[in-house]
C-alpha cells in the first residue's frame, strides 16, 4: 500500500511539473517547424532568433543540433528532427526531448544548412540564453564557463548581460569573463590592458593560469602588463597561503591548548604526569555522544543545544573520575613521579578498555549542531565554523582559568603550592585538598576539551591517545606552572607544525617538530617560561 501510494504521489507530482511547460513547448514546436519552410540562411537565422527570444532553456538542444549540422527535415511530411548518423541511415530524434522517433534513409531527409555566420548567431543566442537565466547560480555557472573558455564571440552577449545584470557578484564575474574574452580577441591594445587589470584584480589561481597563457602568446605592453600582474598575483597568493597556514596552525593550536591546559595545571602544581589525561578527553567526548543520543531519542528539538548541555556534564564526569584517581591512587604515590606516571598509564588502559567494552571499538557518530556546521570565506580562505568556535572556546577556557588562578583564593592557594609546597603548608593551606581539587579541575578541563574535540575528530576509545604526546610536548615546551607558557607553546607548536606540512608532508613535519622540541629541551630544560626557583633538583 505504502509503495503504491508513493508511486501515485510521484506521478501526480510529475504531471504537475510537466503541465505548465506544455503550453510553452507547443509554441517552441511551432517555431521549430518553421525551419522546414525557411529557405536560405537569412530565413533560418530569423527562426533561430525567434527561438532564442523565447528565453526557454529547452531550445538549447535543437539549436546546438543545428549548429552541428544535425537538424533535418523529413521530405515526406516536412517535419523537423534532430538526427544522428548511424551508417547509411539516420536516427531521427525529437528535437526538443532528444528521444528516438524513427530511422530514415539519408535520401529521405534534407539537412538544414548552416554557415559560419549562422553558427555564430546560434552560439551567441545560446550564451545569452544562460546569461539571462532567472536563476543567479545558472548565470554564475555560465560566466564561470565563459571565463575558463574565453572566446572573442562571447564579448557581445556579455556586454548585453552586464548591462542587464543587477546582482553585483554575478556582474563582477561577467566582467572578468568579458576581460578574458577580450584577451583572446583581436581588440586594440588599450582594451587588452584594461582586461589584464580586471583579471589581475581577481587574483586567484585561475586568473594566474589565464594570465600565464596571455603572457606566452602576446607581445609588447600587454605582455609586460601580464608579467606584472602575474607577479602581483603570485605575491598575493603567497600571502594567502601563509594566512591559511597560520589559520590552520591557530586552529591546531587551539585544539592543543584545550588538550594540554589541564595537563599543565596538574603537572605544574603537583609535579604529576597524568598519562590518563587523554582518556579524560575521551570521556568528555563520550559524554557528548551520550547526551546527543538522549536528545535524539527524547528531545529532538534541543539538538542545537546538545553541546551546551554536554559541557557541564563532561566537566563533572571527568572531574569526578579525576578526583577518584587522585584520592584512590595518586595520593599514595606523591614524591615518586615516575611511579605516578606508570600508575596513571595503567588507569588509562583500564578506562580505554572500559569504554571499548561499553560502547564498542568503533567510532561513534557525534553530530555538529547547525551553528557549528558550514563555513564562510575570507578572501581566499575558507574558515569552517566548528574550527572557529573551538578557537573561541579554547580562548574562553583559557581566560576563565586565568581568572581562577589569578583572582580567586583557590587560585592563590594553587599558586602558593606550586611555588613552595612546604611553605604553603606552613601558612595553613590544606595542601592535600589543593592537590585533589587541582587534579579534579585539570581532569574536568580535559573533559570539556573532549566536548570540543568530538566536533572535529572521531569519537573512539583511542581518541585520547592521539593527543597525549602532543599535549606533553606543549607542556614541556611552554614550561610548567605558567598558563601563558602553555598558550604560547600550543599556538607556536600548532603554527610550526602547519608551516612545515607543505614542505615536508604531515608526518615528516610532525617528526621535525618532535626533534626540534627534543633539541629545545637541551637548551632550556624547564621550558620557555620556567618558574624561577632555587632548588637544585626537582
Q: Is residue 294 close enough to count as binding other proteins by CB under 8 A?
A: no
Which H or E run contains 44?
helix 41-54
Shortest Å, Cβ 346 to other proteins: 2
**Interface stretch with other proteins, choices 107-115, 155-163, 293-301, 349-357 (CB under 8 A):** 349-357
Q: Is residue 273 close enough to count as binding other proteins by CB under 8 A?
A: yes
The alpha carbon dihedral of 291, 295, 297, 303 has a sign of negative
* Best CA proximity match to 456, nearest among 355, 367, 356, 359: 367
Spacing of C-alpha 57 from chain mean position: 33
Q: Is residue 531 close enough to count as binding other proteins by CB under 8 A?
A: yes
Q: Is residue 329 close enough to count as binding other proteins by CB under 8 A?
A: yes
SS (H, E, C) 453-467: HCCCCCECCCHHHHH
Count the residues in the chain.
538
| CB neighbour list of residue 302: distance below 8 Å, 6 or more residues apart | 295, 309
Nearest-angstrom CA–CA distance, 196 and 207: 9
Burial class, 333, CB count within 10 angstroms (exposed 0-12 / middle 13-18 / buried 19+): middle
Among 64, 341, 380, 386, binds other proteins (CB under 8 A): 341
Helices 463-478 and 506-523: crossing angle in degrees, nearest 10, is: 40
The answer to whether the beta carbons of residues 135 and 165 sit under 8 Å apart is: no
Instruction: Count the Cβ atoms, other than its own, within 10 Å of residue 152.
Output: 13
Q: Is 447 or 461 the residue whose CB approaches other proteins more closely?
A: 461
Shortest Å, Cβ 287 to other proteins: 21
Among 129, 476, 495, 500, binds other proteins (CB under 8 A): 476
Q: Is residue 282 close enough to count as binding other proteins by CB under 8 A?
A: no
Q: Is residue 419 close enough to count as binding other proteins by CB under 8 A?
A: yes
Q: Is 165 or 435 the residue whose CB approaches other proteins more closely?
A: 435
Q: Is residue 530 close enough to count as binding other proteins by CB under 8 A?
A: yes
Q: Is residue 104 close enough to count as binding other proteins by CB under 8 A?
A: no
Shortest Å, Cβ 469 to other proteins: 5
Q: Is residue 423 close enough to count as binding other proteins by CB under 8 A?
A: no
The end-to-end CA distance of the chain, in Å, is: 78
Shortest Å, Cβ 313 to other proteins: 25
Q: Is residue 514 close enough to count as binding other proteins by CB under 8 A?
A: yes
Q: Is residue 340 close enough to count as binding other proteins by CB under 8 A?
A: yes
**Interface stretch with other proteins, choices 19-27, 28-36, 126-134, 411-419 (CB under 8 A):** 411-419
Among 176, 287, 306, 348, binds other proteins (CB under 8 A): 348
| CB neighbour list of residue 275: distance below 8 Å, 6 or more residues apart | 341, 342, 344, 345, 347, 348, 468
Q: Is residue 431 close enough to count as binding other proteins by CB under 8 A?
A: yes
Shortest Å, Cβ 100 to other proteins: 49
Q: Which residue's entry shows cell 578527553?
A: 281
Q: Which three cell numbers stand for residue 516?
A: 626540534
Among 243, 271, 367, 411, binds other proteins (CB under 8 A): 271
Q: Is 130 or 340 the residue whose CB approaches other proteins more closely?
A: 340
Among 8, 98, 117, 346, binds other proteins (CB under 8 A): 346
Q: Which three cell numbers stand for residue 210?
A: 589565464
Q: Is 381 or 425 the residue whose CB approaches other proteins more closely?
A: 425
Nearest-angstrom CA–CA distance, 72 and 62: 10
Q: Is residue 490 close enough to count as binding other proteins by CB under 8 A?
A: no
Site residue total, other proteins (CB under 8 A): 67
Q: Is residue 418 close enough to count as binding other proteins by CB under 8 A?
A: yes
Q: Is residue 132 close enough to count as binding other proteins by CB under 8 A?
A: no
Q: Is residue 286 close enough to count as binding other proteins by CB under 8 A?
A: no
Nearest-angstrom CA–CA distance, 259 and 269: 17
Give the angle 494-500-505 at the CA atoms, nearest 5°: 115
Coil, strand or helix at 384: strand
Binding site for other proteins (CB under 8 A): 267-273, 329, 332-343, 345-354, 356-357, 417-419, 421-422, 425, 431, 435, 469, 472-473, 476, 480-481, 507-508, 510-511, 514-515, 517-519, 521-523, 525-526, 530-531, 533, 535-538
Amino acid at each position: 500500500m505504502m509503495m503504491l501510494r508513493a508511486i501515485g504521489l510521484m506521478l501526480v507530482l510529475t504531471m504537475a511539473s510537466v503541465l505548465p511547460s506544455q503550453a510553452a513547448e507547443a509554441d517552441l514546436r511551432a517555431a521549430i517547424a518553421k525551419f522546414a519552410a525557411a529557405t536560405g540562411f537569412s530565413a533560418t537565422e530569423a527562426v533561430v532568433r525567434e527561438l532564442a527570444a523565447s528565453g526557454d532553456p529547452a531550445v538549447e538542444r535543437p539549436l546546438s543540433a543545428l549548429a552541428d549540422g544535425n537538424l533535418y527535415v523529413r521530405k515526406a511530411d516536412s517535419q523537423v528532427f534532430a538526427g544522428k548518423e548511424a551508417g547509411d541511415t539516420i536516427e531521427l530524434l525529437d528535437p526538443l526531448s532528444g528521444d528516438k522517433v524513427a530511422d530514415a534513409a539519408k535520401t529521405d531527409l534534407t539537412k538544414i544548412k548552416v554557415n559560419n555566420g549562422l553558427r555564430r548567431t546560434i552560439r551567441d543566442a545560446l550564451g545569452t540564453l544562460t546569461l539571462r537565466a532567472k536563476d543567479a547560480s545558472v548565470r554564475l555557472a555560465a560566466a564561470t564557463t565563459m571565463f575558463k573558455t574565453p572566446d572573442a564571440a562571447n564579448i557581445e552577449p556579455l556586454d548585453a548581460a552586464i548591462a542587464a545584470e543587477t546582482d553585483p557578484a554575478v556582474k563582477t564575474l561577467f566582467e572578468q569573463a568579458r576581460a578574458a574574452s577580450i584577451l583572446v580577441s583581436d581588440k586594440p591594445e588599450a582594451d587588452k590592458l584594461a582586461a589584464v587589470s580586471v583579471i589581475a584584480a581577481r587574483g586567484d589561481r585561475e586568473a594566474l593560469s589565464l594570465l600565464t597563457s596571455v603572457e606566452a602568446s602576446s607581445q609588447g605592453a600587454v605582455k609586460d602588463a601580464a608579467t606584472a600582474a602575474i607577479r602581483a598575483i603570485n605575491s598575493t597568493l603567497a600571502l594567502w597561503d601563509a594566512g591559511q597556514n597560520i589559520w590552520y596552525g591557530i586552529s591546531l593550536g587551539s585544539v592543543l591548548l584545550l588538550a594540554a591546559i589541564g595537563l599543565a595545571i596538574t603537572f605544574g602544581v603537583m609535579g604529576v604526569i597524568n598519562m590518563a589525561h587523554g582518556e579524560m578527553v575521551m570521556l568528555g567526548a563520550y559524554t557528548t555522544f551520550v547526551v546527543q543520543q538522549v536528545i535524539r531519542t527524547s528531545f529532538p528539538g534541543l539538538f542545537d543545544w546538545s553541546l551546551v548541555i554536554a559541557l557541564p556534564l563532561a566537566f563533572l564526569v571527568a572531574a569526578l573520575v579525576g578526583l577518584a584517581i587522585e584520592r584512590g591512587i595518586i595520593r599514595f604515590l606523591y614524591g615518586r613521579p615516575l611511579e605516578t606516571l606508570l600508575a596513571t598509564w595503567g588507569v588509562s588502559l583500564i578506562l580505554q578498555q572500559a569504554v571499548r567494552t561499553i560502547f564498542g571499538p568503533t567510532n561513534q557518530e557525534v553530530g555538529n549542531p547547525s551553528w557549528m556546521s558550514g563555513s564562510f570565506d575570507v578572501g581566499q580562505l575558507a574558515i569552517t565554523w566548528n574550527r572557529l568556535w573551538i578557537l573561541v572556546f579554547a580562548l574562553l577556557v583559557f581566560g576563565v582559568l586565568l581568572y581562577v588562578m589569578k583572582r580567586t583564593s583557590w587560585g592563590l592557594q594553587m599558586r602558593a603550592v606550586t611555588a613552595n609546597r612546604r611553605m604553603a603548608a606552613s601558612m595553613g593551606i590544606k595542601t592535600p585538598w589543593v592537590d585533589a581539587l587541582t587534579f579534579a579541575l585539570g581532569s574536568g578541563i580535559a573533559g570539556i576539551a573532549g566536548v570540543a574535540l568530538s566536533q572535529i575528530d572521531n569519537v573512539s576509545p583511542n581518541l585520547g591517545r592521539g593527543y597525549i604526546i602532543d599535549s606533553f610536548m606543549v607542556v614541556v615546551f611552554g614550561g610548567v606552572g605558567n598558563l601563558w607558557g602553555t598558550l604560547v607553546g600550543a599556538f607556536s607548536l600548532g603554527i610550526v607544525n602547519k608551516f612545515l606540512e607543505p614542505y615536508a608532508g604531515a608526518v615528516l613535519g610532525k617528526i621535525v617538530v618532535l626533534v626540534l622540541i627534543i633539541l629545545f629541551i637541551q637548551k632550556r630544560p624547564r621550558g620557555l617560561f620556567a618558574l624561577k626557583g632555587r632548588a637544585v633538583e626537582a
